[in-house]
Amino acid sequence: MGAFAVTRRNRVRRLPEKASYDELAVHAVLDAALFAHVGFVDAGQPVVIPMLHGRDDARLYLHGARKARIAKLVGSGAPVCVSTTLLDGIVAARSAFNSSMNYRSVVVFGTGRMLEDEGERLVALRVISEHVLPGRWAELRPPTARELAMTAVIEVGIESASAKIAEGPPQDEAEDYALPTWGGVVPVATTLGRAVDDGRLLAGVGLSQAVAALEGRRL
Amino acid sequence: MGAFAVTRRNRVRRLPEKASYDELAVHAVLDAALFAHVGFVDAGQPVVIPMLHGRDDARLYLHGARKARIAKLVGSGAPVCVSTTLLDGIVAARSAFNSSMNYRSVVVFGTGRMLEDEGERLVALRVISEHVLPGRWAELRPPTARELAMTAVIEVGIESASAKIAEGPPQDEAEDYALPTWGGVVPVATTLGRAVDDGRLLAGVGLSQAVAALEGRRL
């Protein structure tokens, strides 16, 4: 694995010492996050919406309703920005200026392509499903022709990207350590709990193995 | 409180039955989320980055480095989209098509304005600080002139917005309830843990009251 070239598009301006352009670092955050915020431009207006994603090597996959605005825009070669952030802590410094958050984030720049080939579309849908719920695809019936016709599947090549990891205690001004002010971190954890069935299981149906494997997982 | 007019810009296309244009619903999600993803357009390229936010009535406040690209663009009247999402569950339906997430999200459209008046800037910085760590501002020394000079403070009027709340069990196709497939939800919880000091407290300094009040909070 290599690194992304640092260009005007992906260069991290703020706190550049926390930035990484390493492909492995970018992929690790994309894989840890269950969803992303996807940005596109609609008649000059920036639009950012949450979407599920999946990654296969240097490609991201997204899906949505075939009729959705984002499907038409992003699927037709428009530039797209996929950003995702995992919050790890609130950093309470001895000044407001140095107070911040601990987090893992990535910003990906790419170009969308609408997938039309049924084989490619099924691969991409499986990648998205397996990203959120590994092992679940094999437990489910295949998509129907009607479902596939209603679904837009978009490939976004990761052309450029950066990761940013903020961790550890506050970094206060030297003179502020003389203040009688508490400084430290409030950890933030996102965890998956015990699965709850919908009360409509057939007799004898136990908990899905794929779902059971997720219980207690921390993002 | 009223509702946002439904226009081309904020109309929810996908699963419109989960949408709300009510100001209270939009504000509740903005207030529950500790940070947001902010989208803007830089020379035709959509850019989405995570930022802390604070809300005062129908205004959002953002801050960043004075020299940051987003400060220059967003602070100078460019259109901006502020989107935030709280993940509440993984919805494991009996088909991939109906599998999804439970979440609370908002998408806000507005126009940025760089605040230059020192009084306005301090109010906005306090709103952002109090949003993340209520009560902390009064525990901290005031910002210095140098810190203020390095900080861009941006006001975004909430011109248009929508909220989307997805909750509850999977909604499967009628015939899929006859399948021997588990269906239900894996809850996702984001919680604040026990605060950890940075080991540099002066003798006799106890845990911040503002920080203590956050421990155990669920977003």
Record: contact A182-B109, CB cut-off 8 A? no
Within 8 A of B216 by CB-CB distance, chain A residues are none
pLDDT higher than threshold 90 for residue B70:
no
Chain A neighbours among B 65-124 (CB < 8 Å)?
Answer: 65, 67-69, 79-83, 85, 87, 90, 92, 94-97, 99-101, 103, 105, 107, 109
Q: Work out whether strand A45-56 and strand B184-192 pair parallel, antiparallel, or are unpaired.
A: unpaired
Give yes or no for A203 touching B (CB within 8 A).
no
Give yes or no for B32 touching A (CB within 8 A).
no
Give the model's confidence band at A13: pLDDT under 50 very low, under 70 low, under 90 confident, else very high.
confident
Question: Residues A46-82: pLDDT tens digits?
Answer: 999 999 999 999 999 999 988 877 788 877 789 999 9
Within 8 A of B151 by CB-CB distance, chain A residues are 97
Rounded-to-integer distance, Cα B125 and Cα B45, Å: 29
Record: contact B46-A80, CB cut-off 8 A? yes
Question: What per-residue confidence (pLDDT) applies to A118?
Answer: 96
Cβ contacts of A174 within 8 Å, gap of 6 or more = none
Record: contact B64-A14, CB cut-off 8 A? yes
Shortest Cα distance from A161 to chain B (angstroms)?
Answer: 11
Shortest Cα distance from A119 to chain B (angstroms)?
Answer: 16
Percent of chain B with pLDDT over 70: 100
Chain B neighbours among A 123-142 (CB < 8 Å)?
Answer: 125, 129, 132-133, 136-137, 139-141
Q: What is this model's ipTM?
A: 0.95
| Nearest by Cα to A96 from A41, A204, A45, A172 | A172
**What SS3 class is residue B64?**
strand
Mean pLDDT of B181-197: 98
Cβ contacts of A136 within 8 Å, gap of 6 or more = A129, A130, A208, A210, A211, B92, B96, B99
Give the model's confidence band at B9: pLDDT under 50 very low, under 70 low, under 90 confident, else very high.
confident
* Single-letter code of the amino acid located at B59: R
Rounded-to-integer distance, Cα A202 and Cα B6, Å: 42
pLDDT higher than threshold 90 for residue B188:
yes
| Nearest by Cα to B15 from A107, A116, A65 | A65
Mean pLDDT of chain A: 95
The answer to pTM > 0.80 is: yes
Nearest to A87 among B35, B176, B182 (CB): B35
Give yes or no for B218 touching A (CB within 8 A).
no
Rounded-to-integer distance, Cα B106 and Cα B127, Å: 19
Rounded-to-integer distance, Cα A75 and Cα A65, Å: 12
pLDDT higher than threshold 80 for residue A209:
yes
Domains of chain B: 16-190 (2.30.110.10)
Record: contact A79-B170, CB cut-off 8 A? no
Question: What per-residue confidence (pLDDT) applies to A68?
Answer: 79
Question: What per-residue confidence (pLDDT) applies to A57?
Answer: 94
Question: Residues A100-138: pLDDT tens digits?
Answer: 999 999 999 999 999 999 999 999 999 999 999 999 999
Shortest Cα distance from A2 to chain B (angstroms)?
Answer: 23
* Cα atoms in the 13 Å half-sphere on the side-chain side of A92: 34
Query: Are A111 and A49 within 8 A, CB to CB?
Result: no
Record: contact A186-B215, CB cut-off 8 A? yes
Give the model's confidence band at A1: pLDDT under 50 very low, under 70 low, under 90 confident, else very high.
low
Within 8 A of B83 by CB-CB distance, chain A residues are 37, 48-50
Give the model's confidence band at B219: pLDDT under 50 very low, under 70 low, under 90 confident, else very high.
very high
Rounded-to-integer distance, Cα B200 and Cα A206, Å: 52
Question: Residues B141-167: pLDDT tens digits?
Answer: 999 999 999 999 999 999 999 999 999
Mean pLDDT of B105-120: 96
Question: Residues B75-93: pLDDT tens digits?
Answer: 778 999 999 999 999 999 9
The label of the residue with tokens 């602070």 reads B75
Question: What per-residue confidence (pLDDT) applies to A216?
Answer: 93
Q: Is A43 left (phi over 0), alpha (psi -120 to 50) or beta?
A: left
Distances (CA, A) of A68 to A152, A206, B11: 8, 36, 11
Question: What per-residue confidence (pLDDT) applies to A180?
Answer: 98
Mean pLDDT of A10-22: 86
Nearest to B83 among A49, A94, A194 (CB): A49
Record: contact B136-A211, CB cut-off 8 A? no
SS (H, E, C) chain A: CCECCCCCCCCCCCCHHHEECEHHHHHHHHHHCCEEEEEEEECCEEEEEEEEEEEECCEEEEEEECCCHHHHHHCEEEEEEEEEEEEEEEEECCCCCCCEEEEEEEEEEEEEEECCCHHHHHHHHHHHHHHHCCCCHHHCCCCCHHHHHHEEEEEEEEEEEEEEEECCCCCCCHHHHHCCCCCEEEEEEEEECCCEECCCCCCCCCCCHHHHHHCCCEC
Nearest to B195 among A97, A141, A185 (CB): A185
Rounded-to-integer distance, Cα B140 and Cα A93, Å: 9
Question: What per-residue confidence (pLDDT) applies to B215?
Answer: 95
Within 8 A of B79 by CB-CB distance, chain A residues are 44-46
N-to-C CA span, chain B: 24
Question: Residues A17-40: pLDDT tens digits?
Answer: 888 999 999 999 999 999 999 999
Mean pLDDT of chain B: 95
Question: What per-residue confidence (pLDDT) applies to B1?
Answer: 66
Task: For CA atoms B34, A29, A188, A14, give the dihedral sign.
Answer: negative
Question: Residues A146-193: pLDDT tens digits?
Answer: 999 999 999 999 999 999 999 999 999 999 999 999 999 999 999 999
Nearest to B132 among A83, A90, A150 (CB): A90
Q: In which element (H, E) is residue B67 found?
A: none
Record: contact B44-A40, CB cut-off 8 A? no
Question: What per-residue confidence (pLDDT) applies to A9?
Answer: 86
